[in-house]
């Protein structure tokens, strides 16, 4: 009798756990969820590309640059968030880890991070504090592709170990931010380096949503083709209603640096069900994502205003990239352009 009761209890708890997991998935709908409505209302944010690439005049490095070469003279996260707030932005997205694998926090799982660098400031914590101070949303960019820890992406036998590493780092990031503020968005990149089924997409979604339920999750190049759900790239002008979600579950669509078309479709599919997904555009205020000593050509205010209107109509979202320089501050030219843009947009 006792054994029967224990078995029943085990099965009951297991069923509850499975039901709990099922609940951490998007609800099929042709209308935006409350969390998606909040994302759409944010409308305009700042992308902050900052990391080891800042010190090498390169957009992508391969994990071979020494951690000591990351050496900002300061990390003025307060200035970053103040500038975004003054520009009328509602949130920021910081590159927590780019393709080379360098982490802007002290990670337990790698030495390729700020703790081993020329400036040990925990940038994730610093920006979380600043976001709380200025009441602005915090999003984090995280590259799935890691050229340091998972350099041999063709070797499928390494996937289990790397996926565990990835999920542990996401928990670390939430641990750092949660005492100060919520994470409004996770922006994932680099998925194209492996077939979509090799990424732990459901585990990523559940890891984040179990702790940050309103956090919106997107993976770059989100949509596939009907005859090939893992097709890449499927440009926004080629996306049609009902096309498959390449990375399910996801909350919104990405495909940088391309812009949405007029009246772009919003309803996409997975396993015979329909899901509403807005588009988030990412563009640079100048020409480069990361600070570069040769990056001197800026988009005009008129052009940025046109891009803003194109990217934010039809319930879509724009994040405008403004990379901090090697002194850990956003450039004065960026600030001037942002302020002029706000005046023009009123």
**What is the reported pLDDT for 346?**
83
270 by DSSP, 3-state: which? strand
Q: What is the mean pLDDT of residues 84-90?
A: 98
Model pLDDT, residue 3: 47
For strands 267-270 and 273-276, give the pairing: antiparallel
Maximum separation of any 2 CA atoms in the chain, in Å? 78
pLDDT for res 18: 42
111-141: per-residue pLDDT in tens? Answer: 999 999 999 999 999 999 999 999 999 999 9
% of the chain at pLDDT higher than 90: 92
Instruction: Look at 21-25, 314-318, 335-339 and tell me which has the smallest mean pLDDT.
Output: 21-25
pLDDT at residue 288, rounded to an integer? 98
Q: What is the pLDDT of residues 190-247, one digit of tens each?
A: 999 999 999 999 999 999 999 999 999 999 999 999 999 999 999 999 999 999 999 9
CA 238 remoteness from chain centre: 23
Q: Is the pLDDT of residue 327 over 60?
A: yes
pLDDT tens-digit series, residues 20-67: 445 689 999 999 999 999 999 999 999 999 999 999 999 999 999 999
In this predicted structure, what is the pLDDT of residue 23? 62
Residue 24 pLDDT: 87
| Residue-level pLDDT at 17 | 42
Q: How large is the average pLDDT for residues 292-308?
A: 97
The enclosing H or E element of 187 equals strand 183-189
Q: Is the pLDDT of residue 175 over 50?
A: yes
For residues 279 and 316, the answer to whether their CB atoms sit within 8 Å is yes
CA distances from 188 to 47, 68, 116, 304, 335 (A): 13, 26, 24, 25, 27
β-strand 216-219 against 267-270: which pairing, if any?
Answer: unpaired
For residue 87, pLDDT over 80 is answered with yes
Please give the model's pTM, rounded to 2 decimal places.
0.93
111-141 core/surface letters (b: 16 or more CB in 10 A; e: else):
ebbbebbeeebbbbbbbbbbbbebebbbbbb
Look at residue 13 in the predicted model and tell me its pLDDT. 41
Average the pLDDT over 318-334 and give the result. 98
The C-alpha atoms of residue 107 and residue 120 are separated, in whole angstroms, by 12
User: Can you name the residues that pair with 183 across neighbouring β-strands?
Assistant: 138
Q: Where are the beta strands (DSSP E) in 59-149?
A: 91-97, 137-143
**pLDDT band with cut points at 50, 70 and 90 for residue 273:** very high
Measured in degrees and rounded to the nearest 5, phi and psi for residue 278 equal: -70, 170
Judge contact between 289 and 58, C-beta under 8 A: no
* ∠ CA 275-201-282, rounded to 5°: 70
């Amino acid at each position: 009798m006792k054994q029967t009761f224990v078995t029943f209890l085990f099965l009951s708890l297991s069923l509850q756990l499975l039901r709990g997991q099922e609940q951490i998935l998007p609800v099929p709908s042709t209308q935006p969820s409350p969390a998606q409505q909040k994302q759409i209302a944010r409308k305009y944010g700042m992308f902050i590309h900052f990391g080891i690439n800042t010190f090498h005049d390169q957009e992508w490095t391969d994990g071979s640059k020494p951690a000591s070469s990351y050496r900002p003279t300061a990390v003025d996260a307060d200035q970053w968030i103040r500038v975004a707030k003054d520009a009328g932005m509602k949130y920021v997205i910081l590159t927590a880890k780019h393709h080379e694998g360098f982490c802007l926090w002290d990670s337990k799982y790698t030495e390729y991070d700020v703790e081993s660098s020329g400036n040990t400031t925990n940038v994730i914590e610093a920006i979380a504090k600043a976001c709380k101070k200025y009441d602005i949303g915090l999003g984090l960019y995280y590259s799935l592709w890691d050229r340091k820890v998972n350099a041999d992406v063709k070797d499928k036998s390494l996937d289990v170990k790397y996926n565990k590493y990835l999920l542990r780092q996401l928990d670390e990031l939430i641990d750092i931010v949660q005492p100060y503020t919520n994470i409004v968005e996770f922006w994932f990149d680099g998925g194209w380096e492996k077939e979509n089924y090799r990424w732990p997409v459901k585990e990523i979604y559940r890891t984040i949503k179990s702790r940050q339920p309103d956090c919106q999750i997107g993976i770059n190049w989100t949509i596939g083709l009907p005859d090939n759900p893992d097709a890449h790239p499927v440009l926004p002008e080629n996306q049609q209603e009902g096309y498959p979600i390449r990375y399910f579950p996801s909350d919104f669509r990405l495909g940088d640096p391309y812009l949405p078309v007029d009246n772009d479709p919003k309803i996409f599919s997975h396993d015979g069900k329909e899901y509403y997904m807005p588009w988030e555009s990412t563009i640079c205020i100048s020409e480069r994502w990361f600070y570069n000593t040769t990056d001197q050509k800026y988009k005009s205010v008129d052009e940025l205003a046109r891009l803003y209107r194109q990217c934010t109509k039809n319930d879509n979202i724009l994040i405008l990239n403004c990379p901090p320089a090697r002194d850990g501050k956003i450039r004065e030219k960026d600030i001037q352009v942002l302020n002029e843009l706000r005046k023009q947009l009123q």
